[in-house]
Amino acid sequence: MTSSEKTSPIDELRAQYEELAELSGSLAHEIKNPLSVIHMNIDLLSEDLADWHSPESRRPLERAKIIREQCVRMQGLLRDFMRYARLRDIDLVSGSLNDQLETVLNAYSAEASQRGIEIVRFLDNDLPSIALHSDSLQAALMNLVKNSLEATDRGGQLLVRTYTTNSGVAMDLIDTGRGIDGNTIMHMFEPFYTTKEGGSGLGLPTARKIVEAHSGRMSVESDVGRGTKFTLEFPALRRII
């Protein structure tokens, strides 16, 4: 084997990662099936206990409720993990970042109104097209918008803007929320790191992984007590074809 034919350390690491990701995804799928059976039978058991109408049935009924809640949590964690582990090369097509944002913001407009948060849009109408996968990119944007709304108090604001850069296009997502401390910023993109009770710690790592699969990059700036800005940058379509 010549030196040009040797596998580089980066290629070896990539192959090892893909093998591990495939194994992890398969394992998660195998766990999902019996977990669904447990969830279904707990529901049936709860129905049986509810028919007893006796004080003695209250304690096992409460315990069954706890088991059901933990099953739901585990199912959500497995769903997030499988999405993260199985994200590979995706088929990209020409599309508009503005259109993706509009779809996501419209989906969260009712929740924003209920929370008393104003969504302000400054979308560049002359934005160049990018290569995108609609479902995965919207999933990443939804995670960011959801996090921003949850971090912002009533009367706050979520500002979204898109603009052209020297290398392509970019978007800023700026909230007036509680902000993120430096230690959290250092670890927030690590799988399973979370500061939320019941959180999977896979939302932001998956979002960044999706952005990187679009040949883009994600960065964050935050000031505790004042708010947070996420910036996503993508190459214009003409630069990656």
Q: Examine residue 2 and state whether it is found in any structural domain, yes or no.
A: no
Strand-pairing partners, residue 172, are 161, 231
The domain of 77 spans 9-85
Q: How many CB atoms lie within 10 A of CB 224?
A: 12
How confident is the model over 47-79, as pLDDT tens digits?
Answer: 877 777 667 667 787 888 888 887 877 777 777
Tell me, yes or no, whether 148 and 228 share the same domain: yes
Domain count, the chain: 2
Q: b/e string for 90-108 if b means 16 or more Cβ within 10 A?
A: eebeebbbbebbeebbeeb
**33 vs 128: CA distance, rounded Å:** 44
Mean pLDDT on 34-47 = 80
Q: Which of 37, 58, 85 is the last residue of a domain?
A: 85
**86 vs 8: CA distance, rounded Å:** 24
Classify strands 118-122 and 157-164 as parallel, antiparallel or unpaired.
Answer: parallel
Reported pTM: 0.69
Tell me, yes or no, whether 123 and 232 share the same domain: yes
How confident is the model over 200-229, as pLDDT tens digits?
Answer: 677 888 889 889 889 999 999 999 989 999
The closest alpha carbon to 209, from 217, 199, 201, 219, belongs to: 217
Tell me, yes or no, whether 190 and 134 share the same domain: yes
Residue 36, domain CATH: 1.10.287
Residue 201, domain CATH: 3.30.565.10
How confident is the model over 97-130, as pLDDT tens digits?
Answer: 999 999 999 999 999 999 999 999 999 999 999 9
**172 vs 166: CA distance, rounded Å:** 16
3-class secondary-structure state, position 147: helix
Q: b/e string for 9-48 if b means 16 or more Cβ within 10 A?
A: eeeeeeeeeeeeeeeebeebeebeeebeeebeebeebbee
Tell me, yes or no, whether 97 and 71 share the same domain: no
Q: Between residues 41 and 198, which one has the greater pLDDT?
A: 41
- On the question of pLDDT at 18 being above 70, the answer is no
